[in-house]
């Protein structure tokens, strides 16, 4: 049976861990600011999105949102463009590599990028509250 002091200690520790790992700006901003200058990526990429037209079926071209990118730092093989595809380039990195990506939104609408297969902090994972306006870049 827990006494009142043990209960308060466990409740406080639980609340602190929720704040620490929630990705909320007020919970992580000091930690992020202290580590930002220490971050040195192994791979650095530039991605951009813009409207384009692609011939998918006979007749009129289809309007798509096309993504392109380039490697700023790292092996050129870290970014693979798929031939004859309007899909995004494939990012290829090894486990434990640190990655920095600069995303430029040239779409006529606000946008986000949600990363599949990468472990990223919650505030970098493309949530609707973190939309990137037309003409802006997010790193």
Average pLDDT value for the chain: 77
- Which tens digits make up the pLDDT trace of 92-128? 899 889 999 999 999 999 998 888 777 778 877 877 8
> What's the predicted TM-score (pTM) here?
0.67
Q: Where in the chain is the domain with CATH 2.60.40.420?
A: 43-138
- Would you state the pLDDT for residue 48? 93
Q: How far apart are CA 63 and CA 82, in angstroms?
A: 18
Contact 69, 137 (CB under 8 A): no
- Would you state the pLDDT for residue 5? 58
At the second CATH level, the architecture of 43-138 is Sandwich (2.60)
């Amino acid at each position: 049976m827990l006494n009142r002091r043990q209960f308060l200690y466990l409740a406080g520790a639980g609340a602190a861990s929720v704040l620490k790992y929630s990705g909320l700006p007020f919970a992580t901003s000091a930690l992020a600011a202290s580590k930002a200058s220490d971050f040195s990526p192994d791979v650095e990429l530039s991605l951009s999105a813009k409207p384009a037209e692609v011939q998918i079926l006979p007749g009129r071209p289809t309007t798509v949102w096309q993504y392109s990118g380039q490697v700023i730092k790292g092996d050129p093989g870290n970014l693979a463009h798929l031939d004859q595809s309007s899909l995004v380039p494939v990012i290829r990195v090894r486990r434990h590599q640190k990655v920095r990506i600069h995303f430029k939104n040239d779409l006529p609408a606000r946008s986000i990028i949600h990363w599949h297969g990468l472990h990223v902090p919650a505030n970098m994972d493309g949530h609707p509250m973190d939309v990137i306006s037309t003409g802006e870049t997010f790193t």
